[in-house]
Amino acid sequence: MAEISVLTPQESGLHAKYLPVPSTVRTAVAGVSGYAGGELARLLLHHPKLADTTPTFLGRPGEDAAKLYLTDLQPQLATSGPSPEVVPFSWDRLVDEGVEVLFLATPHEQSREWVPEAIARNIRVIDLSGAWRLNDDANRAVYKLTDANPDLARNLQAEAVYGCPELHRKDLRDARIVANPGCYATSIILALAPLLEAGIVDLSPGIICDAKSGISGAGKAATAKTHFMYAADNLSAYNVFGHRHTGELLEQLHLDASDIQFTPHLLPIPRGILSTIYVRLIESMHPEKIESIFRACYATSPLVRVRGNGNLPQIQYIVRTNYCDIGFELEPGGKRLVIVSCLDNLLKGAAGQAVQNLNLMCGWNEAEGLL
């Protein structure tokens, strides 16, 4: 990669207090042929603020071949009108078209390489991969990423905002780099953050997170794990002590590795995540108190739906929505709490959350185009 020069956040003029709220914004999407990229394309094409600014849809970098249309890659997006084109990824094109926000729905390694390039061109990025989510080098090591310019990467990592709006809403308005959270991590963080913040969790026995995901969470590339003969009529645990979302849980919930055990499972359905989380409370509590903690925390969060004691969410309630549903059941003794958190891995766990972040970066209603 050629040496690039990058303005500091201050020099780039991105200060929330000076930023006007734009009526629209020019966006581009890389990785549009993938599962998350396809959902992003659908959401952006229907976004009220983008009605007059069709996003630039990007294929891999390379020579212009025969014209390619979005509906060639994502036939479900066909309308009675013409399909937008998909053009080869090119920085010159993004600059010429005045793209202001670039979505990367690309593999981690590609996102790690492209984010500094985008920032050097004053293009803000919402990255759906895991490349920029982790501040601790030891946690990020699981991705085996390499940086052409380690000093620059370290500075950019320090300014990247973990794109969980419910936790970091205020930091998103002037963020240049938004690291969209992992799908499992989103479901677990949203379930645990209010309780940990309230200081009611007994960490000594450890928190157990047992999460199950539909197959689309693994992306579109066929692997042994996602082969029909392996996944169908099956349920399997994987990455028991080493799933890469564990680092997100530790960093965002301020926990030590011994405080939490996260075990993911592969569920033979196309999409959706259900996380069952087992917690001990320090003192015996009433269910109304637990519910009020969740409701107070998410009172101004339009994309989290809190349910009452015993009213547990299910995958069928959240599939193809942008919500995370949270419910719980407290044992009669009031100390053992089971929380169930559900979301669509491709929406609140990826593309929906990315658009929620775009809305906040632009100063729009965070649920614009998502309800």
Q: Any contact of residue 184 with ligand NDP (CB under 6 A)?
A: no
String of contacts with ligand NDP for each residue 268-297, x by CB under 6 A: ------------------------------
Instruction: Please state, in angstroms and rounded to a whole number, the distance separating the CA atoms of residues 204 and 206.
Output: 5
Tell me how far, at minimum, the Cβ of 185 lies from ligand X2W, in Å: 7
Instruction: Please state, in angstroms and rounded to a whole number, the distance separating the CA atoms of residues 97 and 259.
Output: 48
Specify burial of residue 207 (Cβ count, 10 A radius: 0-12, 13-18, 19+).
buried
The residue sitting closest to ligand NDP, measured at its beta carbon, is 34
Judged by CB under 6 A, the stretch of 62-70, 128-136, 143-151, 204-212 that binds ligand NDP is 128-136
Q: Any contact of residue 9 with ligand NDP (CB under 6 A)?
A: no
For residue 163, the one-letter residue type is G
Measured in degrees and rounded to the nearest 5, phi and psi for residue 210 equal: -115, 105
Q: Any contact of residue 254 with ligand NDP (CB under 6 A)?
A: no
Residue 36 interaction partner, one of ligand NDP, ligand X2W, none, beta carbon < 5-8 Å per kind: ligand NDP
Q: Which one among 346, 347, 358, 361 touches ligand NDP, defined by CB under 6 A?
A: 346
Judged by CB under 6 A, the stretch of 137-145, 155-163, 181-189, 326-334 that binds ligand X2W is 181-189
Strand runs (DSSP E) across 183-272, as ranges?
201-202, 207-213, 236-237, 260-266
Q: Any contact of residue 183 with ligand X2W (CB under 6 A)?
A: yes
Q: Any contact of residue 43 with ligand NDP (CB under 6 A)?
A: no
Residue 264 interaction partner, one of ligand NDP, ligand X2W, none, beta carbon < 5-8 Å per kind: ligand X2W
Specify burial of residue 233 (Cβ count, 10 A radius: 0-12, 13-18, 19+).
exposed
Tell me how far, at minimum, the Cβ of 368 lies from ligand NDP, in Å: 21
* 183, 324, 342, 362: the active-site residue: 183
- Pairing mode, if any, of strands 260-266 and 336-343? unpaired
Judged by CB under 6 A, the stretch of 65-73, 187-195, 211-219, 303-311 that binds ligand X2W is 211-219
Terminal alpha carbon distance of the chain: 41
Q: How many residues bind ligand NDP (CB under 6 A)?
A: 27
* CA 37 distance to own-chain centroid: 12
Strand runs (DSSP E) across the chain, as ranges?
27-30, 56-59, 68-69, 85-88, 101-104, 124-127, 161-162, 177-179, 201-202, 207-213, 236-237, 260-266, 273-281, 304-309, 324-330, 336-343
183 belongs to the catalytic site: yes
Q: Which one among 6, 29, 36, 361 touches ligand NDP, defined by CB under 6 A?
A: 36
- For residues 12, 14, 20, 22, the Cα torsion angle rounded to the nearest 10 degrees is 80
Tell me how far, at minimum, the Cβ of 14 lies from ligand NDP, in Å: 24
Backbone angle region of 100, left / alpha / beta, with phi > 0 → left and psi within -120 to 50 → alpha: alpha
Q: Which residues bind ligand NDP (CB under 6 A)?
A: 31-37, 60, 105-108, 110, 128-130, 182-183, 216-217, 219-221, 345-346, 349-350
Q: Catalytic site residues? A: 183
Q: Which residues bind ligand X2W (CB under 6 A)?
A: 129-130, 182-184, 213, 217-218, 245, 264, 266, 349
